[in-house]
Structure 1
Amino acid sequence: MDKLKQSLLDAPIIEKDGYHYFVHPISDGIPVLEPGLLREIVIQIIRKAELEDVDKIVTPAAMGIHISTAVSLMTDIPLVVIRKREYGLEGEVALSQQTGYSENEMYVNNVHEGDRVLLLDDVLSTGGTMKAITEALEHIGADVADVVAVIKKEGPNELDDTDYDVKTLINVDVQDGEVVITDEHGDG
Structure 2
Amino acid sequence: MFLDPNYIRDRIRTVPDWPEPGVQFRDITPLLQDPRSFRVLIELFVYRYMNQRLDLIAGIDARGFIVGSVIAHELNLGFVPVRKKGKLPFDTIAEQYALEYGTSTVEMHADSVRPGQRVLLVDDLVATGGTMLAGSKLLQRLGANVVEAAAVVDLPALGGSKAVRASGLSLYTVCEF
User: Into which bin does the TM-score normalised by the smaller protein fall?
Assistant: 0.7 to 0.9
- The CA RMSD over aligned residues, in Å, is 2.2
**Counterpart in the other structure of 1:176:** none
- Of residues 161, 169, 174, the one that matches 1:164 is 169
| Paired AA for residue 4 in structure 1 | I
Q: Following superposition of structure 1 onto structure 2, how do residues 1-188 of structure 1 map, counting pairs within 5 Å? A: 1-2=3-4, 3-8=7-12, 11-16=13-18, 17-24=20-27, 26=28, 29=29, 33-49=33-49, 52-84=52-84, 85=86, 87=88, 89-90=90-91, 92-109=92-109, 110-155=112-157, 156-157=159-160, 158-172=163-177
Where does structure 1 lack aligned partners over 5 or more consecutive residues?
Answer: 173-188
1:71 Cα deviation after fit: 0.8
Amino acid at match of 2:59: T
Task: Tell me which residue corresponds to 1:179.
Answer: none
Distance 1:69 1:145, change over 3 A: same
1:40–1:108 Cα change, 3 Å: same
The structure carrying a bigger helix percent of its residues is: 2
Name the SS of the counterpart of 1:64 in structure 2: helix
Q: Larger relative contact order (C-alpha < 8 A, sep ≥ 6)?
A: 1
Segments of 5+ residues of structure 2 without an aligned counterpart are none
Distance 1:142 1:64 in 2: 18
Matched to 1:21, the amino acid is Q
